[in-house]
């Protein structure tokens, strides 16, 4: 993919850096792999807002993605497509028996390439194998945390993890956050880096593009009244006036760690905060 910069012909165009979409090979999705997306506007079954700053946005249809990569055989990449539900590109693959599936498109994979799954397939970009069968140093994405559940780790644009070591049924993986974590060697992963590497360099340029994504405005607590937010009130520009920033409901915010003591903590060799 590439980026395109606009001339400042209007305030909304100034400083905008957008995707040029030149890596896409097909504009319309595969109908058999679509599902409806029901919007909630951040509201629960009682109609009350439970998640702020959501609402509106362009209508979407969900693309059913094969995160498990559990179908054997040879599959040919038929197209690279845009997915409004994720930052990465998706690839439509066709198996020899006529089955079509969407997968998260790895970087450098192109139309006509062959992708496979299994413990004995070649270690090349786009192929899926159990972690325990991958050589040390291999770059991977779409990693399972539980065997057979489907990929849950390193699926966003440009994400990549690395296989560091194998020991007694576990594989040590360095995650995109820098965390070092043991995962069962039976968990599968896809070789390579996720596509759309330049996603992080885009600049929306105007508030309207955020509204198209279904994101409503966020108002700072410091400009609210003291009845509406713990940071509110005071004369002029005031500090938050308390030890540490708070949510509108008075809970600690902005950096407060919320992970409880879980049974999986023993699998973390290095936390992402310890880099």
Give residue-wise pLDDT tens across range 190-203: 999 999 999 999 99
Instruction: Evaluate if residue 74 carries a pLDDT over 90.
Output: yes
Q: What is the mean pLDDT of residues 180-207?
A: 96
Instruction: Please check whether residue 239 lies inside any domain of the structure.
Output: no
The per-residue pLDDT for 241 is: 85
Q: What is the mean pLDDT of residues 29-55?
A: 96
Report d(CA 105, CA 20) in Å as an integer. Answer: 17
Domain extent for 159: 18-38+61-200
* Sign of the alpha-carbon torsion through 123, 110, 173, 189: negative
Give residue-wise pLDDT tens across range 210-264: 999 999 999 999 999 999 999 999 999 998 988 999 999 999 999 888 888 888 9
The per-residue pLDDT for 216 is: 97
Instruction: Please check whether residue 260 lies inside any domain of the structure.
Output: no
Which residue in the block uniquely carries the two structure tokens 């792999």?
33
Report d(CA 194, CA 86) in Å as an integer. Answer: 12
Instruction: Evaluate if residue 93 carries a pLDDT over 90.
Output: yes
Spell out the residues 6+ positions from residue 104 whose beta carbon is closer than 8 angstroms to its own: 65, 67, 86, 88, 89, 90, 91, 141, 142, 151, 155, 190, 194, 195
Instruction: Report the percentage of the chain scoring pLDDT > 70.
Output: 99
Rounded to a whole number, what is the distance in angstroms from the first to the last CA of the chain?
31
Q: Give the confidence band of 275 by pLDDT, cuts at 50, 70, 90.
A: low
Instruction: Please check whether residue 22 lies inside any domain of the structure.
Output: yes
Instruction: Please check whether residue 213 lies inside any domain of the structure.
Output: no
The per-residue pLDDT for 160 is: 98
Instruction: Please check whether residue 172 lies inside any domain of the structure.
Output: yes
The per-residue pLDDT for 1 is: 66
Instruction: Please check whether residue 99 lies inside any domain of the structure.
Output: yes
| DSSP letter for each residue of 207-255 | HHHHHHTTB-----GGGS-TTT-TT--SSSS----SSS-B-TTS-B-SS
φ/ψ of 254, rounded to 5, equals 55, 75
Instruction: Evaluate if residue 20 carries a pLDDT over 90.
Output: yes
Q: What is the mean pLDDT of residues 265-269?
A: 93
Q: Average pLDDT of the chain?
A: 95
Q: What is the mean pLDDT of residues 109-117?
A: 96
- Count of C-beta atoms within a 10 Å radius of residue 263: 6
Pairing outcome for strands 100-104 and 90-95: antiparallel
How many structural domains does the chain have? 1
- Count of C-beta atoms within a 10 Å radius of residue 154: 24
Give residue-wise pLDDT tens across range 143-177: 999 999 999 999 999 999 999 999 999 999 999 99
3 state SS of 197: helix
Report d(CA 222, CA 244) in Å as an integer. Answer: 13
Contact, 180 vs 269, CB < 8 A? yes
Which residue in the block uniquely carries the two structure tokens 């896809």?
190
The per-residue pLDDT for 22 is: 94
Instruction: Please check whether residue 154 lies inside any domain of the structure.
Output: yes
Contact, 139 vs 162, CB < 8 A? yes
DSSP state of 263: G
Which residues in the chain belong to E strands, given as ranges? 3-5, 17-19, 34-36, 61-63, 75-81, 90-95, 100-104, 114-115, 128-130, 139-141, 143-144, 151-153, 161-167, 170-174, 180-184, 188-191, 268-270
Q: Give the confidence band of 273 by pLDDT, cuts at 50, 70, 90.
A: confident
- Which CATH number does the domain housing residue 141 bear? 2.30.30.30
What are the structure tokens assigned to 121, written together? 């397939």
Instruction: Please check whether residue 268 lies inside any domain of the structure.
Output: no
The per-residue pLDDT for 2 is: 87
Burial (CB count <10 Å: 0-12, 13-18, 19+), residue 72 = exposed
């Amino acid at each position: 993919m590439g980026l395109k910069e606009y001339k400042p012909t209007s305030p909304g165009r100034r400083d905008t850096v957008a995707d040029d979409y030149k890596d896409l090979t097909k504009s319309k999705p595969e109908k058999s792999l679509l599902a409806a997306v029901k919007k909630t506007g951040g509201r629960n079954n009682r109609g009350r807002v439970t998640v702020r700053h959501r609402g509106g946005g362009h209508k979407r249809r969900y693309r059913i993605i094969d995160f498990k990569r559990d179908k054997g055989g040879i599959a040919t990449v038929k197209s690279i497509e845009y997915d409004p539900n994720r930052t990465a590109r998706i690839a439509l693959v066709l198996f020899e028996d006529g089955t079509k599936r969407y997968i998260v498109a790895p970087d450098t994979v192109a139309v006509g390439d062959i992708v496979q799954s299994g413990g004995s397939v070649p270690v090349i970009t786009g192929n899926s194998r159990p972690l325990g069968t991958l050589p040390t140093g291999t770059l991977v994405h779409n990693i399972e945390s539980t065997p057979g559940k489907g990929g849950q780790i390193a699926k966003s644009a440009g994400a990549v993890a690395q296989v560091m070591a194998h020991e007694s049924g576990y594989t040590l993986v360095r995650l995109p956050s820098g965390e070092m974590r043991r995962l069962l060697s039976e968990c599968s992963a896809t070789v390579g880096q996720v596509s759309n590497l330049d996603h992080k360099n885009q600049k929306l340029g105007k508030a309207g593009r955020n509204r198209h994504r279904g994101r409503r405005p966020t108002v700072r607590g410091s400009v609210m009244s003291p009845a509406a937010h713990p940071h509110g009130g005071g004369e002029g520009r005031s500090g938050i006036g308390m030890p540490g920033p708070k949510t509108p409901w008075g809970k600690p915010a902005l950096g407060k760690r919320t992970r409880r003591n879980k049974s999986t903590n023993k699998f973390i060799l290095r936390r992402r905060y310890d880099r």
